[in-house]
Amino acid sequence: MDLQTSVGKQNEIVLNFAKHVIATTDAKTSNLVFSPASINVILSFFAAKSGGSTANHILSLLQASSITELNAVSSKVITDVLADSTATGGPTISVANGVWMDKSLPVEPCFTSLIENTYKANFNQVDFRTKADEVVEEVNAWVENQTRGLITDLLSFASPKTDLIFANALFFHGRWDEEFNPSLTKVSDFHRLDGTKLRVPFMSAKASYKHRIEAYQGFKVLHLPYKGGSNYLEDNRFSMQICLPDDKDGLHAMLESLSSCRGFLNGYIPGQCALKGLGLETPLEKIVHKACIEVDEVGTKAAAATAVSFCGGILRPPKKYDFVADHPFLFLVKEYRSGLVLFLGQVLDPSMH
């Protein structure tokens, strides 16, 4: 299994997923952030646990050849790509999986091996039949702890008929490789999609080789790298990309263009309703996802949690470009060696939280 190839295939669904989320939720008029990395781990476990037609749908969705490939990718992502690098000066990263299964159900050895060896999950036997509300509180407390308090109340309800909940929690805290000088932060106009303007603070920086800008047909991409570990050749390399349309109201057209451009997220160029729109039916299960991100002059702090319950060509810029994100844009946080997209979102109104 080649990790970069497998992650690249999974990335092909990310922008289409964003389109469906925006089209089927209130994200048409609000900011949005979600974690493809977290969702893909959940879907991979879902496929391994469910089998049959559900597994086939997920295999098709993530363009994987087998459940074995999905499990191998998830295992590699959890143990290697999202390994914490705080000790060597890189981002602080935490990824954790948890399983809560009703104590009345038999525990098969193959299932135990799957959750403990492949998904590195904490296994908990609980009482859904008479204490479902208490299990929900336990899951939510676990998520809040794993995400350093950024994600709260992931689940609102669990039925006494629930057999199992599988949850994934992801936390990321990276410092910019070249931090922004707070004294250069100035208040200026941000142009919203409806034509109105608002005054918000803008971080600013002078031209730097670390802040790379690429110009495409109709939009630009700014790359903002995070500090890496001390071993450049071996450590993972993380960066934020900001995709800014040339037109102030061009966000949706840009997303439409990017989603039809294969390989863009690989370097070339809430939940259930969006999954249904992409061809995955989950009539008896519920997939819940929450994410948040905070950005300032020093760096980025972001978290995501997901749970499932069972019942165009590049135009090389001939000159330097200014990059002023004064209108709606897309952003993503990714790891470059593997191509894994940790977070993706849109900003329609910087004053909204």
Which two tokens mark 78? 């959890």
d(C-alpha 52, C-alpha 57), whole Å: 9
Q: Which residues have CB under 8 Å from 87's CB, separation 6+?
A: none
Per-residue confidence (pLDDT) for residue 315, from 0 to 100 = 37
Domain ranges (residues) in the chain: 3-175+267-310, 182-261+315-347
Q: In this structure, how many other beta carbons lie within 10 angstroms of the beta carbon of residue 234?
A: 9
Whether the per-residue pLDDT at 338 is higher than 80: the answer is yes
Whether the per-residue pLDDT at 190 is higher than 90: the answer is yes
Per-residue confidence (pLDDT) for residue 316, from 0 to 100 = 42
Per-residue confidence (pLDDT) for residue 282, from 0 to 100 = 46
Per-residue confidence (pLDDT) for residue 33, from 0 to 100 = 92
Q: State the DSSP H helix or E strand holding residue 329, giving kind and residue range, or none if neither.
A: strand 329-335
Out of 171-175, 277-281, 286-290, which region has the weakest mean confidence (pLDDT)?
A: 277-281
Alpha helices for 12-170 (secondary structure H): 14-24, 36-50, 52-61, 67-76, 109-113, 128-146
Which two tokens mark 37? 């990395």
Whether the per-residue pLDDT at 243 is higher than 90: the answer is yes
For residue 289, what are the CA distances in angstroms to 138, 286, 346?
17, 10, 16
Whether the per-residue pLDDT at 207 is higher than 80: the answer is no
Instruction: Average the pLDDT over 300-313 and give the result.
Output: 79
Q: State the DSSP H helix or E strand holding residue 3, giving kind and residue range, or none if neither.
A: helix 3-11
Q: In this structure, how many other beta carbons lie within 10 angstroms of the beta carbon of residue 262?
A: 12
Number of C-alpha atoms within 13 angstroms, CB side, residue 243? 24
Pairing of strands 186-191, 212-216: unpaired
Q: What percent of the chain has pLDDT over 70?
A: 89
Number of C-alpha atoms within 13 angstroms, CB side, residue 349? 14
d(C-alpha 143, C-alpha 122), whole Å: 12
The per-residue pLDDT for range 29-54, each reduced to its tens digit, is: 789 899 999 999 999 999 999 889 99
Per-residue confidence (pLDDT) for residue 347, from 0 to 100 = 92
CB 132 within 8 A of CB 109: no
Query: What does CATH list as the number for 3-175+267-310?
Result: 3.30.497.10
For residue 268, what are the CA distances in angstroms to 180, 236, 264, 339?
28, 19, 5, 11
CATH fold label, 182-261+315-347: Alpha-1-antitrypsin; domain 1 (2.30.39)
Per-residue confidence (pLDDT) for residue 288, from 0 to 100 = 85
User: Angle CA(27)–CA(30)–CA(36) in degrees, nearest 5?
Assistant: 50
